[in-house]
Amino acid sequence: MPQLVGKEVGSTGYGLMGFTWRAILPPREQAFEAMRTAIKNGANFWNGGVFYGPREYNSLVLLEQYFEKYPEDTDKVVISIKGGMNINGAGPDGSPEGTRRAVDECLAQLKGRKFLDIFEFARRDPNVPMEVTLRVLEDEYVKTGKLGGISLSEVKAETIHEAVKHTKIVAVEVELSLFATDVLENGVAAACAQYDIPLIAYSPIGRVEELAEKKGCTPAQLAINWTKALSRRPGMPTIIPIPGATTVACVEENMKEFDITDEEMAEIDTTLAKFTPAGNRYPDWVPVNT
């Protein structure tokens, strides 16, 4: 099994964004039932964000409420939280003050119900040397026992190579799906493999209906298991997809594991080679590959 911050986690993780960042929110009890189902199915790595919803009800509030009701699950789950965006909406704030504010906000919202296993800046701050940001996280939070480890998010390969010079990086979260394979070719996956850093793949489910029908599974199951199967290839890191699901049925669907043969992977490669993505992954004003 993969490991994060010294703890074993399932080969598929669990994204929390859909619970708090959507037009119509699922009822809290439905959310809790889905979260418990994730644990029962081995998805004990949960990924959320400070900005996944308003401060009154974001991922941290949901987690605090969940662990208040189910304290017995606290040690079963590894959580990773994205934050660090400037309070005035001007982008990431990796200054010492901004870094402290970001982590302290997470700790305050968790109210001690759950240890903050992993924190990751949603984007690298281009105006602050990375060493400054990482030193605050390492010296003031990891070494003092307030934080388990430091992750990176939406970074380029050069950022990974630079970051490992200053601190231990426990994970790198980037987009990876059947139709967003940039990280396999731009050095990000290779850098993760070089330093034995698990790659956390968000948005693992793409448009794969025809491929799934041929395999005899759902599109979600094919997309998720394809992402994990990439780990078998030479030069690839451990890859943990984090699909989101807000119902028990969808959680159970996403957690079903099956093997994709090398021949089937080659067939998928051939299909992908014929596909040309249209548009960008994010609006122009959202930084990527930082």
Contact 251, 19 (CB under 8 A): no
Contact 153, 118 (CB under 8 A): no
The DSSP output letter for 162 is H
Residue of 52, 66, 141, 202 with catalytic role: 52
Distance separating alpha carbons of residues 98 and 111, to the nearest angstrom: 20
pLDDT in tens, 78-133: 999 999 986 556 689 999 999 999 999 999 999 999 999 999 999 999 999 999 99
pLDDT in tens, 36-79: 999 999 999 999 999 999 999 999 999 999 999 999 999 999 99
Distance separating alpha carbons of residues 205 and 178, to the nearest angstrom: 7
* Per-residue pLDDT at 270: 82
Residue with tokens 């997470």, as numbered in its chain: 106
Distance separating alpha carbons of residues 49 and 156, to the nearest angstrom: 20
Arithmetic mean of pLDDT, 219-245:
94
**pLDDT above 90 for 10:** yes
The DSSP output letter for 244 is B
Arithmetic mean of pLDDT, 212-232:
90
Confidence tier at 215 by pLDDT (50, 70, 90): confident
* Per-residue pLDDT at 154: 94
Instruction: Name the residue among 146, 153, 142, 139 with its Cα closest to residue 114.
Output: 146
Distance separating alpha carbons of residues 228 and 176, to the nearest angstrom: 11
Distance separating alpha carbons of residues 229 and 172, to the nearest angstrom: 18
Q: Distance between the two ends of the chain, CA-based, in angstroms?
A: 29
**pLDDT above 80 for 233:** yes
Instruction: Name the residue among 39, 116, 105, 55 with its Cα closest to residue 81.
Output: 116
pLDDT in tens, 155-203: 999 999 999 999 999 999 999 988 889 999 999 999 999 999 999 998 7
* Per-residue pLDDT at 210: 73
pTM of the model: 0.88
DSSP string, 12-79: S-EE-HHHHSSSSPPPHHHHHHHHHHHHHTT--EEEEETTSS-GGGSHHHHHHHHHHH-GGGGGG-EE
Confidence tier at 279 by pLDDT (50, 70, 90): very low
What whole-number percentage of the chain has pLDDT above 70? 91
Domains of the chain: residue spans and CATH: 7-273 (3.20.20.100)
Q: What angle do CA 141, 138, 153 make, to 5 degrees?
A: 100
* Per-residue pLDDT at 283: 47
52 an active-site residue?
Answer: yes
| Mean pLDDT score across all residues of the chain | 91
CB atoms within 10 A of CB 247: 15
Beta bridge partners of 240: 200
